[in-house]
Amino acid sequence: MLGLDLVAKAGPTATPSGRAGRNMSMLPHTSRNVPYNVPRDFAPIALSTTNYLGIVSSNDAPFRTVGEMVAYAKANPGKLTVATNGEGGFPHMSFEQLRVMGGFTFTHVPYKGASALVTDIIGGQVMGRHHQHRHRHAARQVGPRAHARVTNRTRVSLCRRCRGERGVRATIGRLVRLRRAAGTPHEIVAKLNAEINRAIPIRT
């Protein structure tokens, strides 16, 4: 947040650029003290990262796919327990989006760290974990029989073990973008966009 505030106040001819995901898309809706206005204060430059989410459950969970998970949650209101890394974070809010899309209820179990979270999945205290798929060792931590899915219709290259979920009606993930202060001249934006896209090929 501090870095983005610096970029917003730097002015259109200054050097700083900012890279952010949730601090631009989610934080303005969950915090009252964001010092910038995203549509007003920033000019978009380029997309740098696509980060999907992963859903990991142990072999003891009564579902194997997202569709089966949704069916279970509908048949057993409030009994689906899903762990994330904290209240109001990206995994939590995106699972809330999945809840709205699927029309089910669940019990959110927030954790302060990944170690206790994984331990409780192994021990059966919670049924599943929702996390960013770049933590691709999560399924291995839970165990060899863990079932892993990503919130995309197909597999993603960084987690070949994690299956895509074709029943998902929309991809749920995070787009990380580079931005500069609003008012940056168009020719600068165009040049930066072209050079960044050339240097950083987007992988899915």
The DSSP call for residue 156 is B
Report which of residues 19 and 109 the model is more confident about.
109
Q: pTM score, two decimals?
A: 0.67
Would you kindly state where each structural domain of the chain is located, as residue ranges? 2-49+175-199, 51-164
Nearest Cα to Cα of residue 195 among 17, 8, 12: 17
C-alpha dihedral, 21 to 22 to 28 to 30, nearest 10°: 180
pLDDT at residue 3, rounded to an integer: 82
Tens digit of each residue's pLDDT (9 = 90 or more) over 156-172? 444 444 444 444 444 45
Structure-token match 């069916």, residue found: 71
The stretch 17-22 carries a mean pLDDT of 74
Most confident of 22-31, 42-51, 52-61, 178-187: 178-187
Report which of residues 141 and 191 the model is more confident about.
191
Instruction: Please check the confidence at residue 72 and state whether its pLDDT lies above 70.
Output: yes
What is the residue type of 63? Answer: F
d(Cα 119, Cα 112) in Å, to the nearest integer? 13
Cβ–Cβ under 8 Å, residues 156 and 162: yes
Tens digit of each residue's pLDDT (9 = 90 or more) over 80-126? 999 988 787 778 888 888 899 889 999 999 998 777 887 888 788 88
Q: How sure is the predictor about 190, in pLDDT bands with cuts at 50, 70 and 90? A: very high
Report which of residues 136 and 103 the model is more confident about.
103
Pick the range with the lowest mean pLDDT from 59-63, 159-163, 174-178. 159-163
Mean pLDDT, the chain, whole residue set = 76
Q: What kind of fold does domain 51-164 have according to CATH? A: D-Maltodextrin-Binding Protein; domain 2 (3.40.190)
d(Cα 110, Cα 105) in Å, to the nearest integer? 16
The stretch 6-32 carries a mean pLDDT of 77
Q: How sure is the predictor about 151, in pLDDT bands with cuts at 50, 70 and 90? A: low
